[in-house]
């Protein structure tokens, strides 16, 4: 059974990839908080409003005798991992204890999620120390995205997320869904612990770095007749610190006063409840119906990438318990066709599904499904029914596009340019060309270095290509990279022009010209026709 389990998982699971190697040295932030923010924005760090609840809305009355009012007491009562003394644990504990402001921020972020996490861990009979794991993974930032493509408070990588049923598409990423990802994390951790016959130290190490790394380390020690205890294993540096961080947090939460830390209480009652939907709904309309801020709705439902829930589900929202009943009442009175706003679009010559989908901030798949289209070909004069947002794009501040835009617009060192991705472009090539690191370039665009680049995609680059760069290994000065300055320009077609002639003049491909201007094959250019081009003005011929 163990062998079958290993074969099924070893190819997909590489573990959580958040760098956790050393205690942070920055007095204002932790390493988890710094590196989990690749696709996050300043707005996501705003604390949740603390709602006053007079009566708990739960099947299990938290006012029953013996039930603590403070959720942290319930967490402490569920601690079951061994209380280990080790220099690495002490090192991590000293850092947490010396940064009370960081712990305050983490507790504020944890406030809306912690009760549900505790309930889920109890249902799966897991140690309550696991409730602290999102501090190590993501600092409880719901939109956290690591340089290793791990996402959400539990930092699932894409493959592991799919393996545990976390759907990922244009509309929705289940790795960020608080409800779905918490359940997946509980199943994953329980399975890891079963695989290692109850050794939680090995199970936690595997959650971070993958089964392969831990199993190889165990085999090496066995071959040398050495201990296979976690602290005796030769593991990646980040994993060596990962488990000690969790055990340090256990000590801190178990007795915060002993370390001069004050941990704010969290009510031992649900913050949110799950409300079922029958179909897609505009998130701005949902927030209005629930009488809550749209930003708060996004933070409770960070799995939704766009301005609406996913057309194909999941069909539920997490809402504060006080807002659930008013929302249900408003939903019952709302006609189904008004859950989303609609617009008719008359197709013009040369338009494509991808261009129309991009213009209206929807997906090609949705356009095909709604309009019962089997292929990608469109006819001029044909009309499409298109779902559209009820508010301006900038009002959906925590949608993926708006978070990315804020990330791209944040001032950096260097000369800001906009580069339109060309076929063959890579992060490595662009970073080398502009004198920046691959990680920085990806981070400026809310991406990870392993994310694919798509032709036509716009990247913001804070170029430092004028600076002399040291070769990484030799220490010798490298030649300055070629200057690049990509700009959007308009071009009026002249008599005798062709796509080939224009592509040569501006050093772009014919395919790019077609894509940028929705030009179908076989369509001739007409004198006076206006074209849009994205060109490198430093290299364009005269």
Which ranges of 377-489 does DSSP label H, i.e. alpha helix?
400-409, 427-434, 438-444
Q: How does DSSP assign 211-272, residue by residue?
A: HHHHHHHHHHHHHTT---SGGGS---HHHHHHHHHHHHHHHHHH-GGGGT------BSS-SE
**What is the C-alpha separation between 435 and 479, in angstroms, rounded?**
10
SS3 sequence of 267-320? ECCCCEEEEECCCCCEHHHHHHHCCCCHHHHHHHCCCECCCECCCCCCCEEEEE
33 closest CA partner among 98, 102, 124, 130: 102
Q: The tokens of 150 are what?
A: 């791990």
* Spatial separation of the C-alpha atoms in residues 269 and 291, rounded to whole Å: 21
- Distance separating alpha carbons of residues 355 and 510, to the nearest angstrom: 17
Residue 501 is encoded by which pair of tokens? 């002639």
Beta-carbon neighbour count of residue 375 at 10 Å? 7
Kindly give, in sequence order, each residue whose CB lies less than 8 Å from that of residue 427, ignoring residues fewer than 6 positions away.
Answer: 438, 441, 442, 449, 453
Place of tokens 């545990």: 164
Of 137, 296, 322, 351, the active-site residue reads 137
126/131 Cα distance (integer angstroms): 9
Residues 249/96, Cβ–Cβ less than 8 Å: yes
List the structure tokens of 315.
């069909």
Largest separation between any pair of C-alpha atoms in the chain: 88
Residue 70 DSSP code = B
Q: Rounded to whole angstroms, how far apart are CA atoms 265 and 243?
A: 25
- Assess contact for 205 and 215: CB atoms under 8 A: no
> 187, 124 in Cβ contact below 8 A?
yes
C-alpha torsion sign, points 209, 122, 195, 222: positive
Residue 296 designated active-site: no
SS3 content of the chain, % helix, strand, coil (to 5): 40, 10, 45
Structure tokens at 55: 């009566």
Which residues partner with 534 through β-bridges? 488
- The C-alpha angle 40, 41, 45, rounded to 5 degrees, equals 95
Residues serving a catalytic function are 137
């Amino acid at each position: 059974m163990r062998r079958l389990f290993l074969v099924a998982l070893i190819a997909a699971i590489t573990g959580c990839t958040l760098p956790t190697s050393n205690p942070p040295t920055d007095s204002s932030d932790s390493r988890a908080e710094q590196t989990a923010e690749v696709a996050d924005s300043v707005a996501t760090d705003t604390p949740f409003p603390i709602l006053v609840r007079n009566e708990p809305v739960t099947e299990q009355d938290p006012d029953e005798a013996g039930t603590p009012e403070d959720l942290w007491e319930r967490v402490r009562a569920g601690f079951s991992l061994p209380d280990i003394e080790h220099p690495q644990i002490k090192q991590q504990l000293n850092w947490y204890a010396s940064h009370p402001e960081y712990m305050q921020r983490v507790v504020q972020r944890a406030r809306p999620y912690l009760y549900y996490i505790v309930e889920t861990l109890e249902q799966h009979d897991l140690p309550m120390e696991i409730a602290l794991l999102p501090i190590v993974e993501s600092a409880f930032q719901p939109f956290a995205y690591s340089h290793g493509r791990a996402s959400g408070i539990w930092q699932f990588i894409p493959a592991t997320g799919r393996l545990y049923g976390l759907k990922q598409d244009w509309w929705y990423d289940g790795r960020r869904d608080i409800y779905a990802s918490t359940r997946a994390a509980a199943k994953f951790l329980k399975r890891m612990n079963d695989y290692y016959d109850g050794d939680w130290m090995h199970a936690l190490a595997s959650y971070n770095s993958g089964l392969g790394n831990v199993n190889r380390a165990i085999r090496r020690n066995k071959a040398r007749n050495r201990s296979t205890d976690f602290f005796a294993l030769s593991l990646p540096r980040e994993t060596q610190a990962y488990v000690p961080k969790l055990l340090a947090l256990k000590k801190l939460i178990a007795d915060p006063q002993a370390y001069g830390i004050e941990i704010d209480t969290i009510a031992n009652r649900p913050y949110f409840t799950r409300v079922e939907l029958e179909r897609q709904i505009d998130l701005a309309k949902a927030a209005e119906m629930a009488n809550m801020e749209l930003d708060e709705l996004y933070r409770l439902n960070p799995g939704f990438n766009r301005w609406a829930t996913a057309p194909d589900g999941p069909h539920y929202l997490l809402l504060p318990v006080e807002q659930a009943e008013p929302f249900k009442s408003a939903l019952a009175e709302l006609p189904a066709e008004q859950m989303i706003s609609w617009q008719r679009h008359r197709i013009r010559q040369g338009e494509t599904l991808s261009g129309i989908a991009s213009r209206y901030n929807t997906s090609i798949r949705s356009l095909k499904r709604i309009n019962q289209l089997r292929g990608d070909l469109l006819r001029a004069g044909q009309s499409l029914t298109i779902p559209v947002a009820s508010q301006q794009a900038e009002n959906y501040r925590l949608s993926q596009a708006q978070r990315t835009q804020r990330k791209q617009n944040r001032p950096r060192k260097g000369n800001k340019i906009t580069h339109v991705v060309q076929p063959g472009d890579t992060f490595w090539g662009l970073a080398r060309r502009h004198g920046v690191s691959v990680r920085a370039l990806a981070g400026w665009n809310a991406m990870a270095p392993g994310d694919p680049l798509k032709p036509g995609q716009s990247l913001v680059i804070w170029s430092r290509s004028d600076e002399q760069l040291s070769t990484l290994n030799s220490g010798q000065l490298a030649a300055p990279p070629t200057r690049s300055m990509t700009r959007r320009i308009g071009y009026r077609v002249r008599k005798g022009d062709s796509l080939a002639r224009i592509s040569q003049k501006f050093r772009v491909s014919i395919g790019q010209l077609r894509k940028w201007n929705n030009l179908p094959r076989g369509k001739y250019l007409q004198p006076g026709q206006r074209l849009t081009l994205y060109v490198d003005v430093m290299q364009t011929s005269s």
